[in-house]
Structure formats: structure tokens, C-alpha cells
Amino acid sequence: MNHLKALNITNSKGKQNKRFACLATFLMYLLLSACSDRATDINDQYQQRLATALDKPFPETAKLTNLKLAPISNNDESIQSQLLSIIQLAQLSHCKLNTLIAEHNSQLGKVATAAGQLAYQIQFIQLAPSCLDKLSPESKSYHAIKRELANKKQRLLKQFNHLLYKDPELKRTWQLTSYALDTNLAGLVETEIALQNLLTLKQQIIQQQSAQIDSKALYPLLSVLRQFNFNQALISAVRQQTYFNQSTSRYLASIELNELCNPLKNKRQAQIVSNVFKKYYLAQLQPYQAQLSGALERLMPLYQQLWLGTTINQPRLAALLEQNQPNNLLTAFKDSAKTHVTWWQTFYKTCEISPI
């Protein structure tokens, strides 16, 4: 009899454990589902629930579009920089510059990437002085290299700026993407270090410290940016969230609060509207926006120092970066969130409903 009781207790515990296991699995599924929701989906749901609760559809709004950047040309390179004659190259056989120029003039050199072109310019500047020391000042090769050295030093910053708009990873920094940031902001630190190194390279060029530049470090740096794609994902997310904040706030501004919060009416509708705000904005979008804001505050100074001096023909990009512009990426983002929250503060005050 005792054995039967023990068996029954064991079976009961086993069933209970299975129930708990099933429940745990179900809860984990819900958690993963919630985490996998993209911010754009949450914003869409937020707007849809508001429209349903307020019985008023959202108006059609223009889609957020990609930033159009003016094409950047790099065709004003001097004739000397294109080729050195075979005879002149023969005179450089005792210089490392000989190999560099030969590789640059080869078929592969002609299709070099923007990074490859910049690396070539830097290496030429680094190798040319020792080669000049070995050549006769009277030779044509000496004068050709000396002219080209001066030319490349003068144009090196322009070549760097060319990289910002031609390298695939750096170029797409300002374009929209469906790629969503990791909730832990994976890649932020690595991206920040890569941008700092890129800025160091720019400063070395400006200060004419070419001898200190490690041109080969440029490729791993760009590889890190490509690996995480953090810049494009962050800027795209900030632009999209600003757009959603602004469009949702415009919609809410069209709501007659005195009617919605009429003290003579039942506050059930206002309470439902409040629940939508708490479920979607307070619980999900506000923490997400805080993450975006924190990441952008860290990287914005680097974006400004890298790109701002290059935006003479890029007015839309300049507007995103310039500190005192209302369309400044960070300023517009924070203002859009502030405007949105201000409406809800007015709502709670007018309706006399607790936001808790």
C-alpha cells in the first residue's frame, strides 16, 4: 500500500514537472517572440492600436527616403600621377618605389578600391624621399617623382574624403537599411574604436605626418566596420524612430482632448488609449530610444569630425551633422521624443488619469 502511495506521489510530481517544463517553454517562446519584434513593427502596432482606440485612422504619410548624396569625382589627378615611363621605372630599379608604381600601373592597380588608392598615395609619399636620395637631381625621374610627391601630399586629404564616399561600407553609412541593431548594441565598442582610428588617420594627413601612417591598418579597420554594419544600422534606426515619433505626434495633436477627456463621459476610452501608450511606448519604445540615444551620443562627435568638412556639396548630410541645425540627427531625435511625451503629459493631466 505504501509502495502504491509512493508511486502515485512520484507520478504526480512527474506530471507537475512536465507542466512546469511546458509552461517554461511557452514563456520562453513568448520572450523570444517579443525580443525578435523589430522596432518598426512595434511602431506600426503602436499606431494601429492608437487608431483603433481613438476610432480615427492614421493619415497617409510620405515614406522615409534615402539620403541622396552628390556624386564624388576623383578625375583631376595629374598626368604624372598616372604613369611613369618604362625608362624612368628602369632608373628606379634600386628603389622600393619601383615595385609600388609598377603594381599601381598594372591592370589590378587600375581597378583598385578607394581604400587601395588611398593606401597607394600614402605609400608613395613614404617611399619617395629615400628614392630621391638615390637619384641624380638632374635626371628626369628625379623631377617626375619630386613633382608627383608634392602633388600627392597636396591631394592626400582629398583622397581621404574620396574614401568616405566611395568605400562601400563608409558610403552606405547614411543609407536606410532593414538590418536591425542587436538589443545589446553588439559592435558599438568595435565600431567606435575603428572610427577613432580612421579619425587618427585623417588627423595625421592634415598634420602631414605621413611617415607615421600605417596604410595597411586601413583594411582591417574597414573590415571591422563591415562586420558589424553598426553605423548604418544606428543612423537608419535613429532616422526611422524620429520619423515615427513625429508622425505619431502629429496624429495625436489632431485629437480633441476636451472631448476625449470629457468629465461627463465614461473614461473607458481614455483608459484604453492610456494602456496602448504604456504597453507600446513606455514599455518598449522608450527604452529602445534610450539605447539609440546613448549610442549616437558616443559616435556623433566622430561622424562630425570625419564627414563635416566634406559636405560642401552635400547639404542634406550637412544638415544631419551640423550642431546648431534643427535637423541635426541627435537633436531632431531627442526633440521628437520630447514632443511625443509632452502630448501624453497633457493627456494625463486633462483626463485626470494616472499613468501608473
- Model confidence over 23-42: pLDDT tens digits? 433 333 333 334 347 899 99
Q: What is the pLDDT of residues 174-189, one digit of tens each?
A: 999 988 888 889 999 9
- Break the chain into its structural domains and give their ranges: 39-66+230-351, 79-174+180-228
The per-residue pLDDT for 12 is 46
Q: Looking up cell 534606426, which residue turns up?
A: 237
- The answer to whether the beta carbons of residues 37 and 46 sit under 8 Å apart is no
Three cell numbers at 140? Answer: 628626369
CA distances (Å), 28 to each of 31, 145, 202, in order? 5, 67, 48
Q: What is the pLDDT of residues 70-88, one digit of tens each?
A: 888 766 454 444 456 644 6
Residues found in the chain: 356
Nearest CA to 333 out of 235, 253, 251 is that of 235
Nearest CA to 273 out of 54, 26, 66 is that of 54
Please state the rounded mean pLDDT for residues 201-207. 97
83 φ, ψ (degrees, to nearest 5): -150, 150
Please state the rounded mean pLDDT for residues 40-60. 96
Calculate the CA dihedral of residues 161, 179, 240, 344 and round it to 10 degrees.
Answer: -140
Does position 113 have pLDDT exceeding 80, yes or no?
yes
